[in-house]
A and B are shown apart, each in its own frame.
Chain A
Amino acid sequence: MTLVQIDNLSLKYSKRMVLSNVSFEVSSGEIVTIVGPNGSGKTSLLRAIIGALKPSRGRVLLKSDIRFGYVPQKLHIDETLPITVSRFLRLPRNVNGSAIDAALLQAGLPDLAKVQMSHLSGGQFQRVLLARALIDKPDILLLDEATQGLDQRGSASFYKQIEKVRQETGCAVLMISHELHVVMSASDRVICLNGHVCCEGTPAVVASAPEYRALFGADTGGALALYQHHHDHSHDDDHERQYQSETKH
């Protein structure tokens, strides 16, 4: 079943064109990853799906009564706002105590229910955000660089948990990620975005795209070059340079 269908979506952000003519869809049970350089409109795309940004053209069609599990890229909780982990997990919909205990156990944070959100470490905070997104049994998880601040082990177990959730609940996952080795192994489909959809397909197909190789050439060796892939349009040089400058960080 199609959960999210994006039709020729164009977005302007303070007069700058952020996205133009983006179309794709996500069906239930799929794991789709969006990759792309900084400023390529990845976050804007997710925000358009949840309705935080209005399209200037095109549209976003959603399954009726769709439930999102959204993990934002950054969440700053103001110092003046006291809130415990268990209270945070009950927003915006109330859930019972046993659901909270179960969610915290699954997130590997069984003892933190009464701790203030502001006292959590970066990794703990991130896992609480995911637990909150999952607690309401979403149709689709939207993850915006959700493994930021996690070490490799933390990030690996994070993706393992997502895979497990997908198997158990059949929810779809649409995520933005920079960790392409994970993307390769964990996604059903990859969308390469740079203001428009550069290429889309199975990880193998996208991985063979020239700009994609420019980004990951060093650590993927020659293996990905085996895949054949034809672009439907050509790219200018600065596109590639953007990728390269990003890998240097």
Chain B
Amino acid sequence: MLDDFLVRANLAGIGVAFAAAPLGCFVVWRRMAYFGDATAHAAILGVALSLAFSLSIFIGTVIVALLMAFTVSLLSDRGYAMDTLLGVLAHSTLAFGLVAVSFLSGIRIDLMAYLFGDILAVSRSDLGVIWIGAGLVVALVAWRWTALLTSTLNEDLAHAGGIDPKREKIVLTCALAITVAVSIKVVGVLLIAAMLIIPAAAARVFSKTPERMVLVAGAIGTLSVLVGLRVAYIIDTPAGPSIVCVAALAFLLSSVTKGLSTKE
């Protein structure tokens, strides 16, 4: 079954959708959308470094994404405006990454594959990395769920309940770095934030509790992968962007639903 590249592509996409669902919800609730974007952009620098030092792409991107995330946390605690900071760091790491890649003259790399993903070229071992990474993220978030949720609601409520919100932020940051690293092959660094945010945002309308929102986001993400790949296959469009387009349509649909239900 895994011999079929389309089956592998679908499974890879679903793996990413599973990791992105709980994490995407936190990104939306905590208004970290730009933060996710910045971490993803930094990953291209990770790709360059991995190739230069012959590391696995996964390890390289996780390290750089983590470094990026902690730099942002550190600097924002020192009073820099968050949006400016992320604007500077996201695009400068992307630029440095692209420049660094150009130095790797000995290695021929397909830059487009890292920017927009290459889901149809997912190998068996890629699939293994994606599912282990996704499993790790889901397990991490499930384990810390109540603490994460309380910290997200209000940091003082968390403190009073014996939860350290700083520690929970680190948990989220690590989960984000892993998600970015496993998503590169599927949607590429430029569209990772879309996979995080769009299914979660679309799920909001259909949810009354945080848990429900995560499940609905997972369902919408999975559906986007299945439909997006199918469409890409039939009308021959790029696979990663097609998945994001379907997710965006789902969001549009949910917005219309919301509009109709508030009119009643």
Q: Output the nearest chain A residue to B79 by Cβ-Cβ distance.
A: A14
Residues of A with C-beta under 8 A to B156: 47, 50, 52, 70, 72
B31 at the A interface (CB under 8 A) = yes
Which of A84-92, A96-104, A163-171, A232-240 contacts the other chain? A84-92
**In the complex, residue of chain B having the shortest beta-carbon distance to the beta carbon of A144:** B156
Residues of B within 8 A of A (CB): 28-31, 146-147, 149-150, 152-163, 201, 204, 207-210, 212-213
Q: Decide if the interface of chain B is mainly helix, strand, loop or mixed.
A: helix
Determine the chain A residues whose CB is within 8 A of the CB of B155 once the complex forms.
52
Q: How far is the CA of A81 from the CA of B28 in the complex (A)?
A: 8
B160 touches A78 (CB 8 A): no
Of the residues A50, A92, A94, A142, contact of B147 by C-beta under 8 Å: A92
On whether the beta carbons of A87 and B210 are closer than 8 Å, the reply is yes
Query: Are B204 and A80 in contact, with the CB atoms below 8 A?
Result: yes
Q: Are B28 and A92 in contact (CB under 8 A)?
A: no
- A83, A87, A88, A142 — most chain B CB neighbours (10 Å): A83
Known A84-B208, A84-B209: A72·B157 in contact at CB below 8 Å: yes
Q: Which residues of A, 103-127, contact B by the 8 Å Cβ criterion? A: 114, 116
Contact A91 to B209, CB < 8 A, known contacts A50-B160, A52-B155, A72-B154: no
B residues less than 8 Å from A82 (CB atoms):
204, 207-210, 212-213
Question: A76: nearest residue on chain B (CB-CB)?
Answer: B154
A78-B31, A80-B29 as given contacts; A92 in contact with B209, CB under 8 Å: no
A16 within 8 A of B: no
Cα A193 to Cα B208 with chains together (Å): 42
Q: Besides A69-B160, A91-B153, 8 other CB < 8 A contacts?
A: A50-B160, A51-B159, A80-B29, A82-B210, A82-B212, A92-B149, A92-B150, A92-B158
Measured between beta carbons, the chain A residues less than 8 angstroms from B162 are 92
Residues of chain A within 8 A of B30, CB atoms compared: 78
Chain B contacts for A78, CB-based, 8 A: 29-31
Residue pair A92, B163 in contact (C-beta under 8 Å) = yes
Asked if B153 and A70 sit within 8 Å, CB to CB, the answer is: no
B207 partner residues in chain A, CB cutoff 8 A:
82
Q: Is the CB of B209 within 8 A of A80?
A: no
Q: Which residue of B lies closest to A73 (CB)?
A: B156
Closest Cβ neighbor of B206 among chain A residues: A82
The winner among B30, B160, B207, B208 for most chain A CB atoms within 10 A is: B160
